[in-house]
Amino acid sequence: MTYTVGETAKKMNVTASTLRYYDKEGLLPFLERSGGGIRIFDENALSWLQMIECLKKTGMPIKDIKYFMDYCMEGDSRIDERLAIIRSQRDAMIHKMQEMQEMIDMLEYKCWYYETAKEAGTCAIHDDIQPESVPAEYHKYLQHQS
């Protein structure tokens, strides 16, 4: 089964322009072309695109994805480099997840802050609040007004 750029775009939930742009930037070295120059995507291409999507979603810049794809095309001689890239990307993501959890914690506090302010009709309820009326997990945010 093969697909055109438009069909593939729909499958991957991006625009055809985006796929052509990726191709121009060297992200799709695995692509075949028809005699007339039309790009041909197959199941294998789709699985590469999922890998590219993963790297993009984890914040890797287009250029770095290109370098990774270049290594992939070089085959078994570049396994070490490919492993190193994937490992460092995974480690960066684990770190980012921790950072994100901290941000969610702060947003949870702010939700509580505004929920109680809403109930009281004013943010002033927090001005001289007793620490014991604040859930323990929010204590570290107590200096935050608004």
Q: Is residue 79 close enough to count as binding a copy of itself by CB under 8 A?
A: yes
* 12 vs 106, beta carbon nearer DNA: 12
Give the long-range contacts of residues 4-12, CB within 8 A, separation 24 or more: 4/38, 4/39, 4/40, 4/41, 5/38, 5/39, 5/41, 7/41, 8/41, 8/45, 8/46, 8/49, 11/46, 12/46, 12/49, 12/53
Q: Shortest distance, CB of residue 66 to DNA, whole angstroms?
A: 9
Q: Shortest distance, CB of residue 25 to a copy of itself, whole angstroms?
A: 19
* 133 vs 145, beta carbon nearer a copy of itself: 145
* 63 vs 139, beta carbon nearer DNA: 63
Q: Is residue 111 close enough to count as binding a copy of itself by CB under 8 A?
A: yes
